[in-house]
Amino acid sequence: MNLSRRNFLKGTVAGGALLTAGTAAEARPNKTMPPEALGLLFDSTLCIGCKACVAACKRVNNLPPDPISEEFPMWDAPLDISGSTFNIIKVYNSGKANRKDEEVDGYAFMKQSCLHCVDPSCVSACPVSAMIKDPVNGIVAYDPDACIGCRYCVAACPFGVPRFQYDKALPKIAKCELCRHRIPDGHYAACAEVCPTGATLYGKVTDLGVEAHRRLALKPGEKTSFPRGRLGGPDWSYQGVAGKYVQQVYGEKELGGTQMIKLAAVPFDKLGHRPLPERSYASISEGVQHTLYKYLALPAVVLGVLSVVAKRNTKHEDDDDDSSGRGRK
């Protein structure tokens, strides 16, 4: 009995050690930016909170209005991204809130929409390939025809982006897809197309990064030129003054980078953007999973061992049954 118990424990510990060794092993590195990655640069200091981008997004994506409540059905005034809103402008408020882009007694705008992560958790989480990252332009796209509606992507996204239509019998996941349906007809992200100040700028992520760092290097108040619409498109630029930027490009390093990068004059954690590590959660998760299941090698070996042991340990039962079978004849 004692020996058996020890064997049992040994088995348990060995199994545990195997799992531990597996999880401790080096996981895969973060994925890297696709070659022609497209994205957005959002500059909080340029945003005037007009929400033209929110309206344009609804128009081009055929999204219904989000009234504040049933009591006030006359305004489309979404409070957050949702099953019917892919993009929203939120405001940070502090004290008297009478100075724009000040942390104290100030206010500042922030855009919330999909960040199109370089190594997205939603893509890693989705069991049926309904979230796909385009290998060339990196847009994270949603395919409702594949989706089973498990909402693992909603739960997994560290930015709280994919949303779900809880009020529909035949619901979908809802999120910004960077207007990929408008690319074939020469258009681009509607939010950038309509932004009057260039606060939302569309372009290749590498170009956007260069532009972001140019702005960070400016002296506050310095006169400069701000492009609007898309980088590399027609010249819609105008003269403005540089803001007092926080020296950080949010999205450049967070979780391995995102294709939407952001600038602001108020610290990002105040604007609903928490500090995040550079290692992507998807890489950690897949590291754990693949160490355990790569090519199903470990399960296959374990199954082999278990089969041999189970066959040996059930032998007597076969005999018993054989005899009873013979007895019947």
Partner 1 sequence: MANAQHAVAPLGGRLVTPVTVVLAGLTAIAGVILLIRFFFGLGAVTNISDGFPWGIWIAYDVMVGSALACGGYAMALLVYIFNRGEYHPLVRPALLASLFGYTLAGASVIFDLGRYWNVWHLFWPGYAQINSVMFEVGVCITAYIFVMWIEFSPVFLEKLGLKDVKRKLNKVLFFFIALGVLLPSMHQSSLGSLLVVFGYQVHPLWQTVLLPLLFLLTAILLGFAVVIFEASIVSVGFKRPGETPILASLSRIMYWLLAVYLVVRVGDLAWRGALGAMFVPGFEAAGFWVEMLAFAAPLWLLASAESRQRRDRLFVSAVLLMLGGFMLRINGFLIGYETGPGWHYFPAVPELMVTIGLIAFEILAYIVFVRMLPVLPKHATH
Q: Where in 93-122 is the site for partner 1 (CB under 8 A)? A: 121
Nearer to partner 1, 183 or 284 (CB): 284
* Lookup result for tokens 């027609």: 234
Cβ contacts of 188 within 8 Å, gap of 6 or more: 179, 182, 202, 229, 230
Nearest one of 149, 178, 142 to 164, comparing CA atoms: 149
Max CA-CA distance within the chain? 102
Burial class (CB in 10 A: 0-12, 13-18, 19+), 275: exposed
Nearer to partner 1, 98 or 313 (CB): 313
How many residues touch partner 1 (CB under 8 A)? 83
Nearer to partner 1, 213 or 294 (CB): 294
Return the residues of window 288-307 that contact partner 1 according to CB under 8 A. 288-290, 292-293, 299, 302-303, 306-307
**Of the candidate residues 36, 105, 278, 318, the single one contacting partner 1 (CB under 8 A):** 318
x-or-dash pattern for partner 1, window 214-253, by CB under 8 A? ----------------------------------------
Stretch in the footprint of partner 1 (CB under 8 A) among 38-46, 58-66, 67-75, 145-153: 145-153
Nearest-angstrom CA–CA distance, 118 and 34: 8
Phi, psi of 41 (to 5 degrees): -115, 120
Return the residues of window 22-61 that contact partner 1 according to CB under 8 A. 23-24
**Of the candidate residues 14, 15, 220, 236, the single one contacting partner 1 (CB under 8 A):** 15
If one counts every other C-beta atom within 10 angstroms of the C-beta of residue 229, the result is 21
If one counts every other C-beta atom within 10 angstroms of the C-beta of residue 251, the result is 30
Stretch in the footprint of partner 1 (CB under 8 A) among 4-12, 61-69, 196-204, 213-221: 4-12
